Amino acid sequence: MSEHHHDHDHDHSELSETELRVRALETILTEKGYVEPAALDAIIQAYETKIGPHNGARVVAKAWTDPDFKKALLEDGSKAIGTLGHVSRVGDHLVVVENTPERHNMVVCTLCSCYPWEMLGLPPVWYKAAPYRSRAVKDPRGVLADFDVSLPKGMEIRVWDSTAETRFLVLPMRPAGTEGWSEEQLAELVTRDSMIGTGFPRTPGAPS
């Protein structure tokens, strides 16, 4: 793979075939008046700044501290999150699934790469790649081992295959030793992977 090229003026021979093709397509779409390059820039900037796992983490932390919110969240994720003005809007079909001592939840999209972008940001490469998509529904414990995660032997593992426009967010269990913590402190413990179900929240005192 070639390196990043942010300088658009240098010799095209240094650009990969894909870069050249992508640039050509943008040129054509622009010349035909379909898109404004500045609008494309703004889309990218919005993805880079507005969405990300911090949104999901705030929702999880609130659910850990506010039982009424948690109840509402599990009943209708989109509606409950809609009441939090500061979290990006999630559309209509977000389902929040709760981890318990009896059951661990994990989310995949075997057919493409559906993912709750508004809650977690753009998905990581592994989520979109064949190893995860193929194996999560058949051997989820094997997949978790790739993340150095293991579950108690008899614990139920529930895999949610996102085959429609519903999106799933895992509500992980609140770590022990966090009694009295504020929402802001708790949100720092919530990892992206803990909301996909391929990890756990950080434990208090562990390096982030």
Partner 1 sequence: MNGVHDMGGMDGFGKVEPEPNEPMFHEEWESRVLAMVRAMGAAGAFNIDTSRFYRETLPPHVYLSSSYYKKWFLGLEEMLIEKGYLTREEVAAGHAMQPAKALKHGKFDLTQVERIMVRGKFARPAPAAAKFNIGDRVRAKNIHPATHTRLPRYVRGHVGVVELNHGCHVFPDSAAMELGENPQWLYTVVFEGRDLWGEDGDPTLKVSIDAFEPYLDPA
Q: Residue ranges for the binding site for Fe(3+)? A: 109, 112-114
Neighbours of 58 (CB within 10 A): 20
- Which region among 39-47, 57-65, 172-180, 200-208 touches partner 1 (by CB under 8 A)? 39-47
Q: Which is nearer to partner 1, 23 or 71 (CB)?
A: 23
- Retrieve residue 37's tokens: 């390059």
Q: Which is nearer to partner 1, 83 or 182 (CB)?
A: 83
Beta strands in 88-164, from DSSP E residues, in sequence order: 94-98, 103-108, 156-161
DSSP codes joined into one string, 85-108:
TTSPP--S-EEEEE--SSEEEEEE
Mode of pairing for the β-strands spanning 94-98 and 167-171: parallel
Question: With binding defined as CB under 8 A, does residue 46 bind partner 1?
Answer: yes
Question: With binding defined as CB under 8 A, does residue 25 bind partner 1?
Answer: yes
Q: Which is nearer to partner 1, 31 or 179 (CB)?
A: 31
- Which region among 54-62, 65-73, 120-128, 173-181 touches partner 1 (by CB under 8 A)? 120-128
- 109 as an active site residue: the answer is yes
Marked catalytic residue, from 112, 134, 150, 182: 112
Question: With binding defined as CB under 8 A, does residue 23 bind partner 1?
Answer: yes
Question: With binding defined as CB under 8 A, does residue 150 bind partner 1?
Answer: no
Least spacing, CB of residue 144 vs partner 1, in Å: 9
* Torsional sign, CA 71, 172, 188, 49: negative
Q: Which is nearer to partner 1, 4 or 176 (CB)?
A: 4
- Near partner 1 in 64-83, by CB under 8 A: none
Collect all residues with Cβ–Cβ distance below 8 Å to 162 and sequence separation of at least 6: 107, 108, 109, 114, 115, 168
CA distance 131 to 45: 30
Residues forming the active site? 109, 112-114
